[in-house]
Chains A and B, each alone.
Chain A
Amino acid sequence: MNGAGTARNGDGMAEEWLIKGARIAGADRVADIRLAGGVITGVGEDLSAPGARVLDAAGLVALPGLVDLHTHLREPGREDAETVETGTRGAALGGFTAVHAMANTEPAADTAGVVEQVWRLGQQAGYCDVRPVGAVTVGLGGRQLAELGAMADSAARVRVFSDDGNCVADPLLMLRALEYVKAFDGVIAQHAQEPRLTEGAQLNEGEVASRLGLAGWPAAAEEAIIARDCLLAAHVGSALHVCHVSTAGSVEIIRWAKSKGWQVTAEVTPHHLLLTDDLAAGYDPVFKVNPPLRTHADVAALRAALADGTIDCVATDHAPHPVEAKETEWAAAANGMTGLETALRVVHLAMVDTGLLDWAGVADRMSARPAAIGRVPGHGQPLRPGGPANLTLYDPAAPAEAVDPAAHASKSRNSPFAGMALPGQVHATFLRGTATVLDGKVTR
C-alpha cells in the first residue's frame, strides 16, 4: 500500500533525524524522537543519533501526522483550482501526512482507473499519502452504484466511498451501498442534504438569511438524512460516516445512534467550528459553503460534540475555487472554502484555547480517529518506537498572525480566514521519516 512503495519516501533512503525536546502529545512528557528508515527508532530523554540531522523542538508539540478525511484536490478536471501536487503541498504545510481525495472530479472518481490515477499523482508529488475516495454512484448521479469493488481492489485500495457534493438521497441506493461495502471493510461517507428541502438554498435558514433575502438551507434537511442513514446503517450492520456535520440537531441524532452501538462516525470542519452565518451579511461568497455556516448555538454544540467524542474527527472539506468562481453575486458563486493550511490553527483557537481539547485530544481527533475511519494503514498511530515516522511538530506559542491566502501553497485563495489572526504555526511535518516541511516551509 502507500506505506512501502513511494519513490521519494520510505524507500530506505529516508533521512535520519533526531528531534530534541518535543512535547509528545498524549504522553504528557518532553522527549527526544529519533527517526530512521522511515520509522521511529527511539523516544526518550537524551537520545543520541550520530550522523542524524538534529531539530531543536523545544516548545513544540509533537503530534502524529494529521489525516484528513475530506479534501477536494480537483485533479483530474479542475487543475485551474488545484492539483494533487499543490493541494498536498498545502496539506503538508498544514501538518497532514495523509489526505482523502474526494471523488467529485471531472471525470468523477467512479472507476478503478480514475482512483488509481489520483493515487499515483499523490505518490509522484510525495508530500503526503493520497487516499482516493470512490464515488458511490456512477458520475455522482445518484442512480446506479459505481463499481465499488473494483475501486476497493485497485492499487488505490479505496475504503471510503462518497458522492460528496451530492447526497445519496435515494434510500434504497444508500441502503445497498452501505451493505455492499461490508465485503471489503468499506465505509460510506454521506453528504447529508435532503435535495428537495434545499432547492436553491443559499445560506442557513435563519434570521440572517431571512433578512438578506437568501433562500434558506434548513437544519432539518441535514438532520433528516442523518437520522435516516443511521437507521439504514443499523439495519444492515454497516459503517456510516457523516461528512461535515453542521447543526446542533445533527449532533443529537449522532449521539443517539452511537448510544445504540451503531457504527456511525462523524466529522466537523474547521470552519463550522469557528464561523457563523452572520458573516454573510456583506454578501461576500468567500463565506458561501455547503453545508452553510450556521449559528453560534450550532458552533457551540459542534465544539462540545468534538470534545466529548460524539463527533469523531475534524475534516477540512478543503474546497479550492478559482477567483472568478467567488467574484460574483452570492447566488452565482461556488460553494466551498480552502482549509488544509489553516485547519490545525483553527482547531487550536476553537478547541485548545477554549480548554475543550488538550493536545492529546487534538492528536486523536485529527490523526488517530480519521485514520481509523478511513482504514489508513501507517497513520494515526502513537509516537512510539517501531511506529511509522509520520509526525507533525507544531508551535503553539507562535504569535497569532493574520491569515494571508496569497501565501498559501494551494492554487486557490478562497480562505474564509483571510485576515483573521490565528494562533500557532506548523513547524515541521515528517512523512515516513522524511521532512516534507521544515521551519514552516516545504522542503522542496
Chain B
Amino acid sequence: MTGSPMPAGRHRHLISAADLSRDEAVLILDTAAELASVAGRPIRKLPTLRGMTVVNLFFEDSTRTRTSFEAAAKRLSADVINFSARGSSVAKGESLKDTALTLEAMGADAVVVRHSASGAAHRLAGWVTGSVVNAGDGTHEHPTQALLDAFTMRQRLGAPDQRGGGLDGVRVTIVGDVLHSRVARSNVLLLATLGAEVTLVAPPTLMPYAVETWPCKASYDFDAELRKSDVVMMLRVQQERMTAAYFPSIREYSRRYGLDAGRMALLPEHAIVMHPGPMNRGVEIAAEVADSPRSTIVAQVSNGVIVRMAVLYLLLGGAAAAA
C-alpha cells in the first residue's frame, strides 16, 4: 500500500460525506484503486487488519450492504461479527446505547452501523471507543455508497491515470426520491467536494426543503437535464410514497421520472447510468436501461467492496500498524 493512513485524530469515524476534505476523499479513492489491483490477484486477502474485530450492526435489513462490508473486512483479514437487530436483544427492546456497550465489551475495533433513525451513527460514535462507519442512517447519509459511486464515476469517466484526481466538471444528475434519500445527501456532499456539478431532479414533493442551500442545482424537468448529463443516478422509489400523496401513482411517477430507453437515447454518447440498488425494474429504471452497456450497476457492487476495504484500512490500518 502506498496510501498513508489518515492523520490520527482527524478521523476515527466515517459518519458523513461532509467530514471528508477533497484530499481525504481522493486518498480513499486512490487507496481503493490500489486495492482493486490486489483484487485481480489469485490470493485476494491482505493481512492488514489481522486480529481486529469489525462488527456489522444492522438494525435494518440490508443483505447487500452488510455482505459488502463483510467481504471488505474479511479480505483485510479482520474478524467479522454480524449483529443483526432481528432476533437479537434489540428486538426485545434493548436500547442503542446498551447495544453499543455490549459491542464495546466484545472489543469491537470498528462498528459498521445501519439504522432507520437519522443520526444513529452519530450517537453511537459517542458511546464506543472503536471506529464507527455509517452504513446508512435513516434519511440522512450513506457515505460509503457515495464513495463507491465516485470511484465508479472516476473509473468510467476519468483520465487513464486517475490517481490523485477528483471529478472536476463531471455533470451528475440524481433523480428520484431525493427527500428520503441518504444516498443523494451523501453524494451531493461528496461529489461537490470532488468538483462535480450535481443536479437533483425530483417532483417538487420529493425535493428537500431548502435544497437551494445545498451545493448543487435542482430541477423538476428530467428531459432537460438528460442532455447535459455525464452521469444519471436513479434512486429507488418506494410504493409507500404514493400512499403519502407524494405522487398520484407509480405509473405517473414512472412516466415523468423513470429512465426508459427513450430517455436514455437523449443522453450524450459517453454518459453512464447508475443505481445504488435494489432496483425497481419498470418503475424508476427500465430493464433495458439497467442491462445496457451504459449501466454501471454491477460495477458499483464490486467497487463497493473495494471502497469499503479502503475505508476500513484507512480508519483502522494506522491503529493496526501501531499495535
- A contacts, CB < 8 Å to B: 202, 205-207, 209-216, 282-283, 324, 327-332
Pair A213/B123 contact, Cβ less than 8 Å = no
Pair B119/A283 contact, Cβ less than 8 Å = yes
B117: Cβ under 8 A from any A Cβ: yes
Pair B118/A331 contact, Cβ less than 8 Å = yes
* Contact residues of B between 120 and 140, Cβ < 8 Å to A: 120, 122-123, 137-140
Q: A205-B209, A329-B119, A330-B117 are in contact. Are A213 and B96 (CB under 8 A)?
A: no
Interfacial chain B residues near A214, Cβ < 8 Å: 118-119, 138-140
Interfacial chain A residues near B154, Cβ < 8 Å: none
Pair B209/A206 contact, Cβ less than 8 Å = yes
Q: Which of B120, B138, B209 contacts A216 (CB 8 A)?
A: B209
Q: A213-B141, A214-B119 are in contact. List 12 more A-B contacts (CB 8 A).
A: A202-B118, A209-B209, A213-B138, A213-B139, A213-B140, A214-B138, A215-B139, A216-B209, A282-B122, A283-B119, A327-B97, A331-B116
Q: Which of B96, B116, B137, B139 contacts A328 (CB 8 A)?
A: B96
Q: Which residue of A lies closest to B209 (CB)?
A: A210
Cβ contacts A to B, 21 pairs, < 8 Å: A205-B209, A207-B209, A207-B213, A210-B208, A210-B210, A211-B185, A211-B210, A211-B214, A212-B118, A213-B140, A213-B185, A214-B119, A214-B140, A215-B139, A283-B119, A328-B96, A329-B96, A329-B115, A330-B118, A331-B117, A332-B96
Q: A327-B95, A328-B96, A329-B123 are in contact. Are A213 and B118 (CB under 8 A)?
A: yes
- Sorted nearest first, the 4 A-B pairs with minimum C-beta distance are A283-B119, A213-B140, A329-B117, A213-B118
* Contact residues of B between 187 and 236, Cβ < 8 Å to A: 208-211, 213-214
Q: A213-B137, A327-B97, A328-B95 are in contact. Are A283 and B118 (CB under 8 A)?
A: yes
Pair A324/B95 contact, Cβ less than 8 Å = yes
Interface string of B164-190 (1 = CB under 8 A from A): 000000000000000000100100000
CB distance from B180 to the nearest CB of A (A): 8
Interfacial chain B residues near A328, Cβ < 8 Å: 95-97, 123
CA A327 – CA B117 in complex, angstroms?
14
Pair A212/B97 contact, Cβ less than 8 Å = no
CB distance from B185 to the nearest CB of A (A): 6
Interfacial chain A residues near B122, Cβ < 8 Å: 282-283
Interfacial chain B residues near A215, Cβ < 8 Å: 139
CA A205 – CA B209 in complex, angstroms?
7
CB distance from A322 to the nearest CB of B (A): 12
Interfacial chain B residues near A324, Cβ < 8 Å: 95
CA A205 – CA B208 in complex, angstroms?
10
Interface string of B17-47 (1 = CB under 8 A from A): 0000000000000000000000000000000
Interfacial chain A residues near B97, Cβ < 8 Å: 327-328
How many cross-chain pairs have Cβ atoms below 8 Å apart between A and B? Answer: 63
CB distance from A442 to the nearest CB of B (A): 33
Interfacial chain A residues near B117, Cβ < 8 Å: 329-332
* Contact residues of B between 74 and 123, Cβ < 8 Å to A: 95-97, 115-120, 122-123
Interfacial chain B residues near A205, Cβ < 8 Å: 209
CA A207 – CA B117 in complex, angstroms?
18
CA A332 – CA B119 in complex, angstroms?
11
CA A146 – CA B55 in complex, angstroms?
52
Interfacial chain A residues near B211, Cβ < 8 Å: 210
Residue in B115, B116, B119, B137 with the greatest tally of chain A CB atoms within 10 Å: B119
Q: Which residue of B lies closest to A200 (CB)?
A: B244
CA A329 – CA B125 in complex, angstroms?
11
Interfacial chain A residues near B115, Cβ < 8 Å: 329
CA A327 – CA B122 in complex, angstroms?
13
CA A213 – CA B143 in complex, angstroms?
14
Pair A329/B120 contact, Cβ less than 8 Å = yes
Q: A324-B95, A328-B95, A329-B96 are in contact. Are A212 and B120 (CB under 8 A)?
A: no
CA A211 – CA B95 in complex, angstroms?
25
Q: Which residue of B lies closest to A214 (CB)?
A: B118
Interfacial chain B residues near A283, Cβ < 8 Å: 118-119, 122-123
Interfacial chain B residues near A332, Cβ < 8 Å: 96, 117
Q: Which residue of B lies closest to A324 (CB)?
A: B95
Interfacial chain A residues near B210, Cβ < 8 Å: 206-207, 210-211
Q: Which residue of A lies closest to B181 (CB)?
A: A213
Q: Which residue of B lies closest to A327 (CB)?
A: B97
Interfacial chain A residues near B214, Cβ < 8 Å: 211
CB distance from A190 to the nearest CB of B (A): 26
Interfacial chain A residues near B123, Cβ < 8 Å: 283, 328-330
Interfacial chain B residues near A213, Cβ < 8 Å: 118-119, 137-141, 182, 185
CA A50 – CA B96 in complex, angstroms?
63
Interfacial chain B residues near A282, Cβ < 8 Å: 122
CA A64 – CA B233 in complex, angstroms?
64
CB distance from B98 to the nearest CB of A (A): 9
Interface string of B141-168 (1 = CB under 8 A from A): 1000000000000000000000000000
Interfacial chain B residues near A331, Cβ < 8 Å: 116-119, 138
Q: Which residue of B lies closest to A203 (CB)?
A: B118
CA A209 – CA B210 in complex, angstroms?
10
Pair B140/A212 contact, Cβ less than 8 Å = yes
CA A146 – CA B210 in complex, angstroms?
42
CA A17 – CA B228 in complex, angstroms?
82
Interface string of B259-298 (1 = CB under 8 A from A): 0000000000000000000000000000000000000000
Q: Which residue of B lies closest to A331 (CB)?
A: B117
Q: Which residue of A lies closest to B212 (CB)?
A: A207
Q: Which residue of B lies closest to A218 (CB)?
A: B209
Interfacial chain B residues near A211, Cβ < 8 Å: 185, 210, 214
